[in-house]
A and B are shown apart, each in its own frame.
Chain A
């Protein structure tokens, strides 16, 4: 009996410990920085999320508790939680979510002094979102595998349709990845609208490409890992992890094909109902600073609002596919995704 009591006591101790280590959250005063905020981070990379969190923490003294997921996953997460968000703000999320959050009243506006006059591309005219940087997708290849086969990295998107790449190309799935959706609307613009043949021609390109694609990944930057590790020869991937992975020792080569690349906005919003509004506003101010733009473009290679900062991946403003209409892309998202599912993702091969 004694022994049982001892064990029960120990168990109680355990449980007690489990409870007391729970969050001790002090209510932040209005004009004081909170000790931490909870953030959705859209890079889909714990590495990038972690570095951003650390940078902000070092400079502002606010701990950033974050979760990193793909744009698409963050989007549905926030949609599911509305109107009771568990996070205070979101960083590095896709344009569709920035727009929907404004429309549906999920975000709050703020007139940040540092973002004033940055222009329509960088800040919402009513102050509901801030574009941290234009992110894009590039073509990557595995140096070693290409050399072994005697192939060179294609310089045009057309070359990807060559049968020699069968089952060697990996790209993300637009059902989870915002990058992949960017690829869909960018290729439709490139091969459909820009050639004057209309949307259908764009779909035909995607269908033809599908014949060579071996799998569609969950995250937009996963192809750079799979290609880097030599699982596949070529990948179409979001740009933010290309630089860090090359620095980390992956045998990756990348290129901006001659037709150009697509791009999207990746930005920040403050979620309605946050009890730490002041802290969130300070974070918004901070990510508009040259200091952050420099850090951000070096880390992820994004093109930021600050013209003095040269993005590491491209060395300047990259060649973009002309006439990409971000508004059209957001407005037609559901339809294009349905079409993609039917013609590409779930089409029998």
Chain B
């Protein structure tokens, strides 16, 4: 309750009953807040602290020896540099191309908008390392294109990693940029065009400045993904060192050097944290709203061909590449050994060994989706309506889970939860908890956006008219935040189905997840089975999303992030 509300209530005749109710209402929010804080502290902060502690833990007391080892060995230095360059290159290309495609799908020719959008978003429901598979099939030393053009190159190295990561995280960049571009009011551009501004001028002085916060946000997420989701990199890096796959090798391999793994993790966090701070600094005070009245651009403005044509070329080229990728992996699914023995076979598709993993994935993702969305929305409510000071901290911690490398949360969970009272390693629960806490920020952000649209006075009115807090929440708040809940659910569900970087450290025998399963098969040389399982995973995620879409159409409650969000 804020001060205005309290003042208004004091003005009324204040019965004892009402003040008790009031007290409870006020406390409900702070108690929930404290509870949520404890949960976030346990499952997001503690694993991070555990990694930090491991990185300075010596045989007796604390030591900086591990850091010294890192800084004095040229191999690690090379690994760090490679990781940074990979991140920067991937982010730059993803953001530029993502912007170009979203410009075409929101401002370009109408008939192209839908197909381009569908193709660009397709990879979101596939494991990111699908691109490593297709690159090997196409551009490997014995790949189709390599053979057809008689090329002599090596895809196993830096260039392969950059190409694969770029294609893998382009959809994410596109999704976020398109989200912010669609909140811009085209009238502004039309006015500028009518006043004689050139297309370039409109892009430069209207669209790009207005999009800056969205673009920065997208850049941060893509950068983090590019350096931490290591499926592609582990399969394609050859002998080029990168931090994230090295963490995987050091922690799960023969050395099992948790200290060194933690040090590498700290160096993986460092650039993310720096960018996080810079981004927040740059965004400060730049929240633009251009939704004044309804955007009514009946006829799309004609884009100057000098800009339209190159933009179109890029968009079509990239979506073509995505299309080819899925086609090639489909070929891998249906041929005996793609590239070697191209006879048609259904053996890979009819191989049911991945069933258990697929069921587990579905189970884990449904659970983490539900709990993640519920908790995200609760967090949003507490942050928007609460009056205690730690609100920003609460939001910050939740965002940290989302904006820090998954690899770190994977090993952090091993350290934090491998002994009583929180002995969770080896259980299915640790996978659920890991996924829900890492991604709940998405539901939270969407919820905050939604709640900010609803004036608190509606709730006060309801309370003053005698409705209980519970009723008010159920009748007023819930319908408002429900789309945010669905959005959060969809995101957590989808990402949990395909994400690899954290859960790969946490699966145990008999409880494998599909994403890890496919990664292992691809890594151990079963392209056919890996491709087939990828397709099954895509089918499951696609079907689930379709069901949710159908449900929301039926109920008229569309999952939305309400502008902003991710």
A interface with B by C-beta (< 8 Å): 1, 3-4, 6-7, 10-11, 14-15, 18-19, 21-22, 38-40, 44-47, 50, 65-69, 72-73, 75-77, 79-81, 84, 86-87, 145, 167, 173-176, 178, 181, 214-216, 218-219, 221-222, 224-226, 228-232, 241, 248-251, 333, 337, 346, 348-349
- Beta-carbon nearest neighbor of A174 in chain B: B254
Pick the contact of B509: A15, A67, A76, A231 (CB < 8 A).
Answer: A67
- Beta-carbon nearest neighbor of B362 in chain A: A18
Pick the contact of A1: B255, B337, B479, B529 (CB < 8 A).
Answer: B479
List 16 extra interface pairs beyond A73-B254, A219-B524, CB under 8 A: A3-B554, A3-B557, A4-B482, A18-B362, A21-B359, A21-B363, A67-B507, A68-B524, A86-B509, A167-B154, A219-B523, A221-B524, A229-B140, A229-B339, A229-B525, A248-B337
Q: A residues within 8 A CB of B510?
A: 38, 65-67, 86
B366 at the interface (CB under 8 A from A): yes
- Beta-carbon nearest neighbor of A66 in chain B: B509
Contact (Cβ within 8 A) B524 A176 = no
- Beta-carbon nearest neighbor of B73 in chain A: A346
CA distance A68 to B512 in the complex (A): 11
CA distance A6 to B336 in the complex (A): 46
CA distance A190 to B525 in the complex (A): 30
Contact (Cβ within 8 A) B341 A18 = no
CA distance A109 to B285 in the complex (A): 69
- Beta-carbon nearest neighbor of B425 in chain A: A81
B526 at the interface (CB under 8 A from A): yes
CA distance A47 to B251 in the complex (A): 25
For window 518-533 of B, CB contacts with A under 8 Å fall at 520-521, 523-527, 529
- Beta-carbon nearest neighbor of A223 in chain B: B525
B249 at the interface (CB under 8 A from A): yes
Contact (Cβ within 8 A) A4 B353 = no
Contact (Cβ within 8 A) A77 B252 = yes
Q: B residues within 8 A CB of A176?
A: 249, 252-254
Contact (Cβ within 8 A) A46 B353 = yes
B317-343 CB contact bits vs A (8 Å, 1 = yes)? 000000000000000000011011100
Contact (Cβ within 8 A) B253 A72 = yes
Q: B residues within 8 A CB of A21?
A: 359, 363
Q: A residues within 8 A CB of B479?
A: 1, 4
Contact (Cβ within 8 A) B238 A215 = yes
Contact (Cβ within 8 A) B337 A216 = no
Q: Given A76-B254, A76-B256, A346-B75, are A221 and B525 also a contact pair (CB < 8 Å)?
A: yes
CA distance A249 to B335 in the complex (A): 12
How far is the CB of A234 from the nearest CB of chain B, in Å?
Answer: 13
17 contacts between A and B (CB under 8 A): A1-B475, A4-B478, A18-B362, A47-B526, A79-B256, A80-B414, A84-B423, A86-B509, A176-B249, A176-B252, A176-B253, A215-B239, A216-B239, A218-B234, A229-B527, A250-B337, A250-B340
Contact (Cβ within 8 A) A230 B340 = yes
CA distance A168 to B339 in the complex (A): 18
Contact (Cβ within 8 A) B340 A229 = yes
The prevalent SS among residues of A at the interface is mixed
Contact (Cβ within 8 A) B74 A11 = no
Pick the contact of A7: B336, B527, B551 (CB < 8 A).
Answer: B551
B448 at the interface (CB under 8 A from A): no
CA distance A57 to B551 in the complex (A): 43
What number of residue pairs across chains A and B have CB atoms under 8 A from each other? 162
B230-272 CB contact bits vs A (8 Å, 1 = yes)? 0000100011010000000111111110000000000000000
Q: A residues within 8 A CB of B508?
A: 67, 86-87
B interface with A by C-beta (< 8 Å): 73-75, 136, 140-142, 154, 156, 234, 238-239, 241, 249-256, 336-337, 339-341, 353, 356, 359, 362-363, 366-367, 370, 414, 418, 423, 425-426, 428, 475, 478-479, 482, 507-510, 512, 520-521, 523-527, 529, 551, 554-557
Q: Given A50-B353, A175-B249, are A6 and B555 also a contact pair (CB < 8 Å)?
A: yes
Q: A residues within 8 A CB of B256?
A: 75-76, 79-80
Q: B residues within 8 A CB of A87?
A: 508-509
CA distance A1 to B74 in the complex (A): 62
Contact (Cβ within 8 A) B254 A72 = yes
Q: A residues within 8 A CB of B478?
A: 4
How far is the CB of A235 from the nearest CB of chain B, in Å?
Answer: 11
Q: A residues within 8 A CB of B524?
A: 44-46, 68, 218-219, 221-222, 225
- Beta-carbon nearest neighbor of B245 in chain A: A218
Q: A residues within 8 A CB of B367?
A: 15, 18-19
Most buried by A among B241, B340, B359: B340
CA distance A232 to B426 in the complex (A): 38
Q: B residues within 8 A CB of A175?
A: 249-250, 253-255
CA distance A328 to B521 in the complex (A): 33
Q: B residues within 8 A CB of A76?
A: 251-256
CA distance A249 to B478 in the complex (A): 59
Contact (Cβ within 8 A) A7 B555 = yes
- Beta-carbon nearest neighbor of A218 in chain B: B523
CA distance A87 to B366 in the complex (A): 26
CA distance A229 to B521 in the complex (A): 15
How far is the CB of A165 from the nearest CB of chain B, in Å?
Answer: 14
How far is the CB of A211 from the nearest CB of chain B, in Å?
Answer: 12
Q: Given A4-B478, A84-B423, A337-B254, are A219 and B525 also a contact pair (CB < 8 Å)?
A: yes
CA distance A341 to B478 in the complex (A): 58
CA distance A221 to B73 in the complex (A): 30
How far is the CB of A45 from the nearest CB of chain B, in Å?
Answer: 6
Pick the contact of A231: B74, B141, B414, B507 (CB < 8 A).
Answer: B141
CA distance A348 to B77 in the complex (A): 12
CA distance A36 to B156 in the complex (A): 41
Contact (Cβ within 8 A) A14 B254 = no
Contact (Cβ within 8 A) B353 A348 = no
Q: A residues within 8 A CB of B526?
A: 46-47, 225
- Beta-carbon nearest neighbor of B241 in chain A: A346
Contact (Cβ within 8 A) B141 A232 = yes
Q: Given A4-B478, A47-B526, A249-B341, are A84 and B426 also a contact pair (CB < 8 Å)?
A: yes
Contact (Cβ within 8 A) B339 A230 = yes
CA distance A224 to B353 in the complex (A): 22
Q: B residues within 8 A CB of A230?
A: 141-142, 339-340
CA distance A232 to B428 in the complex (A): 39
- Beta-carbon nearest neighbor of A248 in chain B: B337
Q: A residues within 8 A CB of B359?
A: 21
CA distance A131 to B74 in the complex (A): 41
How far is the CB of A208 from the nearest CB of chain B, in Å?
Answer: 16
Q: Given A46-B353, A81-B425, are A73 and B557 also a contact pair (CB < 8 Å)?
A: no
Q: Given A87-B509, A176-B254, are A214 and B239 also a contact pair (CB < 8 Å)?
A: yes
How far is the CB of A151 from the nearest CB of chain B, in Å?
Answer: 16
How far is the CB of B381 from the nearest CB of chain A, in Å?
Answer: 16
Q: B residues within 8 A CB of A232?
A: 141
